[in-house]
Structures are given as C-alpha cells and as structure tokens.
Amino acid sequence: MTEKVVVITGASSGIGAALAELLGSRGTSLGLVARRADALRAVAERSGPGAHAIVADMTRRDEVRRTVAEALEKFGRVDVWVNNVGRGITRTPSQLSDADIDEIMLVNVKSALYGAQEILPHFLSRGEGHVINISSMLARIPLKVERSAYNGAKHFLNALTANFRTEFQQSHPGIQFSLISPGVVRTDFGRSALHGGADSWQLPDSQSAEEVAAVIAEVIESRRPDVYTRAGSRDRVVGYFDALGQDP
C-alpha cells in the first residue's frame, strides 16, 4: 500500500475522509479531491505528508481533467482512482422533477464517468490501474421509495462499472474496475440530501465511515471486482428477490 498513489474524490468528509486518513496512516501517497477547500485541506493535514489537496468539482469534466493532470504532475503516476462523490435525494418517483434527475445523475453517475474516462488514458499507457466506484446497497435492493432517483443513479453506476470491466478485461487485464456497496453509513449523507433527509447518524443497522474505509483499503490490495461492506449483505439481496419471486 505504501508504494501506491491513490486519488480519492469526495475526500473532504465521510467515507472519503476516513479512507484518506486510513491510507495516509499507512504511508500511501494521496491525491485528495473535493470542492470545499478548508475542509479538504484539514483532511489532507490529518492524512500525513504524502497527502496533496486538489480543490476541484468532479461534476465538471474540465476540472476532472485538471485534477488528473495535477495528480500526475505531483506524483508522476496514479495507481488507484476512487470515485466517491455522491449525493442523496428525498423525493418519491411520482414527485421527481427534471431538475432532480439531472442533479442526481450529474453527481452520482457523471462524476464517476468523467473520473474513469479521464484517468483511463494514463492507465492504458501503463497497462495497469484500478478504478473503484462507490455505489450503494440501494442499487441492489431499492427499498427506499423516497430515494428513487438515487437508487436509479446507483443502478446506472453499477452497470457502468461492470461494462467498463468487460470492455478492458481481455485487452488490458492489468486494469481493474471495482464496485463497493455500503448500506447506511454514519455520515452527513442523509442531512445533505437534496430536499433534506433523515439523519444517517440516527438510522439503525449502520456502519461507521471508518469500517467502510477499511473495506475499500482491502479492495485496493485485493482488486476484488464487486464487494459489499458488511457481512450478510448478499443474503439480503437474495432474500429481496426471493420475496418477489425473481432471481437476483
């Protein structure tokens, strides 16, 4: 891990910040990306001397491209790119507006698409690299009707990740695309949702950001393609589809 260069987007709080601090404690070189400059720089300071803050908006392709260039200038290479930018929404499907869909797709899908596409030429030139996309259990079992647009966006992200992997696994086996699926995580995700939302810190059956970060760190080492962050998640997915009389 200490020899890797890892770029983490959405690194100013929550899972991204926890991952930065965990990897930083192990001596990993880090490119930490977020829009909030002060919060991001505070995370970078806590993440050790190998952490470099890059203030940028991952929903803008030109800023993603600038981030790639700055990371390469700083470190000389990138080994792992973690697409961690995301935002929830609280609105039932019957009430969704065009603006709701556009915002949630931009933040949860396009930011990851831009990241993967813009780092890919570097990975192709080296013949190796690793993109990790942070998804959600709600992409597997869309139980929360008020999260409808988020559920759909994460379904899209899951499909993109699988299709990227298939596109390159034969021609460039050194390039991997991994998907991480947490459940409820104790962060400000709920309170920061579009149109407000439940406080994730108060919801039952939750994980800490540090627990999720530990799983992501393991995936950086193992390069596993599709990983849940807690035991029993696969059984929950199978049970959901069994109840519907469908195969998962």
Which active-site residues does the annotation give? Answer: 150
How many other CB atoms sit within 10 Å of the CB of residue 248?
A: 12
Residue 134: which residues within 8 A CB-CB, separation 6 or more?
Answer: 15, 82, 83, 84, 86, 180, 182, 216
> What is the Cα–Cα distance from 26 to 37, expressed in whole angstroms?
24
Transcribe 140-155 into DSSP letters.
TS---TTBHHHHHHHH
Kindly provide the b/e burial profile for residues 140-163, where b requires at least 16 CB atoms within 10 angstroms of the residue's own CB. bbbebebbbbbbbbbbbbbebbee
Residue 40's SS3 state is helix
Q: How far is CA 97 from the centre of its chain?
A: 25
- Show the tokens assigned to 33: 């990306």
> What is the Cα–Cα distance from 80 to 188, expressed in whole angstroms?
25
Q: 207 - beta bridge partners?
A: 185
Residue closest to 86 by CA, chosen among 104, 60, 74: 104
> What is the Cα–Cα distance from 134 to 125, expressed in whole angstroms?
25
> What is the Cα–Cα distance from 205 to 141, expressed in whole angstroms?
15
